[in-house]
Amino acid sequence: MQTAIIRAERVEKYYAQPSENRIQVISPTDLSVVPGEIVALLGPSGSGKSTLLRMLTGLSTPSAGQVYWHEKPIATADVNVSIVFQSFALFPWLTVLENVEAPLKARGVEASERRKQGLRMLDTVGLDGFQGAYPKELSGGMRQRVGFARALVVEPEVLFMDEPFSALDVLTAENLRSELLELWQNKTIPTQSIFIVTHNIEEAVLLADRIIVLGRNPGHIRTDFKVGLAHPRDRKATAFTQLVDYIYKVLTQPDAKPPKLPTTPTDKPERKAHYQMLPHARPGGIAGLLELVIDHNGKDDIYRLADDLGFEIDDLLPIVDAAQLLGFLTVTEGDAAITETGSEYANSEILRQKELFRAAAIENVLLLRQIVRAIEAKSDGSVSEEFFHDILDEQFTEEETVRQLETAINWGRYAELFDFDASRRRFIQAEKLVHEPDVDDEAETGA
Ligand SMILES: Nc1ncnc2c1ncn2[C@@H]1O[C@H](COP(=O)(O)OP(=O)(O)OP(=O)(O)O)[C@@H](O)[C@H]1O
């Protein structure tokens, strides 16, 4: 067992809320970064990837638990890490060389030595000749090269990267990725370990020796496994695509225990949320996806569907999730297959579609069921949004609570389960559910 450079022990993060409640963003988590590996951290938006990265670097203090740097509490240790950011985060008023020298200056390195090391690093990342340029004169790819040079010039023991390639076009990203890998494999840089946060599953499988997938609400490790593929990796190789499919599967089934991997992942017990997380998808989008799956003979690989649609997988996943939640789609081994109800839904005319959606929503979505029950239980047939806000607030962040309610309103209105009075922020009975001739609008608004 290798000694960890960084070791997080039961780290947690929560944020205070205006109300008394606090929002837990990371649940107690153990995680070690050991020498000789590239670790990729994947997870859906909001699962706490950046939060975890910030705690591991010492930029942010855990609310509970401890991070150790070579077994010393990180706050008291002489930490040698660098971070490359998605947004490059360069100083626009400094030249390329001055940007690269900045961290050396902060460490008190003398001017001529700074210049020497800065120029050498610019050379390493392919930017020799650009030392006098300003960031605005450079392309995105070159700016990120400056970002790398600035991070690497201090010879960090661990190099952290937060989505370093996602602001770049596909070809530039590919190019920069393989150059980084080359620097690492040839040991041109003395960095002991690289920790990369990414949204891109293929990127993780291309680069990483170990992949960690986070789940959310609150953030927790769903699976943490080694990637046994030799470099250079071939995206078309079966072992590669199997691994990509496996990770899609883990990500598209947030409530399932991660399945067995082609290699052996360390499965962690899965936590069950009281309320499922409603995926933020619109009914129209769900119907569109189902039609597409039908066009593909009722079954297709999610990854290929995203490709065909020109969608980022992150944009498609909520729609897939929603269709799955409603029982219109099943996802197995990264393949989405339409169910009988899903097929009927996609092929029906609008009123029948609404009926099917209504039945599926009531059956499968706790929040919608509760809203309908609450409206039915109230003599005035209306209930305030605040009531559900307070309940959801216990489980989700403020931002997510608002989004959950927005999605619930959208689905509930579409399915005619209820209506929503936006001026009074109240859920009200849907027109068509009002059977009593004497219950009119006035009675409703008088509540
Ligand atoms: N200062 C803060 N106060 C309250 N909540 C916060 C704060 N910072 C982050 N959060 C919440 O913590 C959760 C995790 O955020 P984080 O940025 O770490 O996630 P992420 O996985 O990196 O997301 P993304 O992939 O979208 O960048 C989110 O729900 C976010 O809204």
Residue nearest to atom 6 of ligand 1 (CA): 15
Ligand 1 proximity of 399 Cβ (cutoff 6 Å): yes
From the CA of 61, how far away is ligand 1's center (Å)? 15
What is the pLDDT at residue 269? Answer: 36
Residue nearest to atom 4 of ligand 1 (CA): 15
Ligand 1 proximity of 22 Cβ (cutoff 6 Å): no
Ligand 1 proximity of 218 Cβ (cutoff 6 Å): no
pLDDT at residue 423 is higher than 60: yes
Query: Residue 423: phi, psi to the nearest 5?
Result: -75, -35
CATH (residue range 6-267): 3.40.50.300
What is the pLDDT at residue 313? Answer: 78
Best residue for ligand 1 mutational test, from 21, 41, 50, 314 (most atoms within 8 Å of Cβ): 50
Q: Point out the ligand 1 atom lying closest to the alpha carbon of residue 214.
A: 21
- Nearest by Cα to 402 from 411, 410, 392, 394: 392
Ligand 1 proximity of 47 Cβ (cutoff 6 Å): yes
Ligand 1 proximity of 62 Cβ (cutoff 6 Å): no
Mean pLDDT computed over 206-223: 93
pLDDT at residue 270 is higher than 80: no
pLDDT at residue 258 is higher than 80: no
Ligand 1 proximity of 401 Cβ (cutoff 6 Å): no
Q: What is the mean pLDDT of the chain?
A: 87
Residues 6+ apart with CB under 8 A from 376: none
Ligand 1 proximity of 43 Cβ (cutoff 6 Å): yes
What is the pLDDT at residue 1? Answer: 59
From the CA of 46, how far away is ligand 1's center (Å)? 5
Q: Give yes or no for a contact between 365 and 325, defined as CB atoms under 8 angstroms apart.
A: yes
From the CA of 59, how far away is ligand 1's center (Å)? 15
Q: Point out the ligand 1 atom lying closest to the alpha carbon of residue 17.
A: 4
Task: Provide, rounded to the nearest whole percent, the portion of the chain with pLDDT above 90.
Answer: 55
From the CA of 253, how far away is ligand 1's center (Å)? 21
pLDDT in tens, 130-142: 999 999 999 999 9
Ligand 1 proximity of 50 Cβ (cutoff 6 Å): yes
Task: Provide, rounded to the nearest whole percent, the portion of the chain with pLDDT above 70.
Answer: 92
Ligand 1 proximity of 135 Cβ (cutoff 6 Å): no
* Interatomic CA distance for residues 160 and 228, integer angstroms: 22
> How much is the pTM?
0.65
Ligand 1 proximity of 46 Cβ (cutoff 6 Å): yes
Q: Which amino acid is at 21?
A: N
What is the pLDDT at residue 332? Answer: 80
Spans of all domains in the chain: 6-267, 283-347, 365-445
CATH classification number, 283-347, choose in 3.40.50.300, 1.20.1250.20, 2.60.120.10, 1.10.10.10: 1.10.10.10
From the CA of 47, how far away is ligand 1's center (Å)? 7
- In this structure, what token pair is assigned to residue 4? 């960890």
Residue nearest to atom 17 of ligand 1 (CA): 50
pLDDT at residue 441 is higher than 60: no
pLDDT in tens, 21-62: 788 999 999 999 999 999 999 999 889 999 999 999 999 999
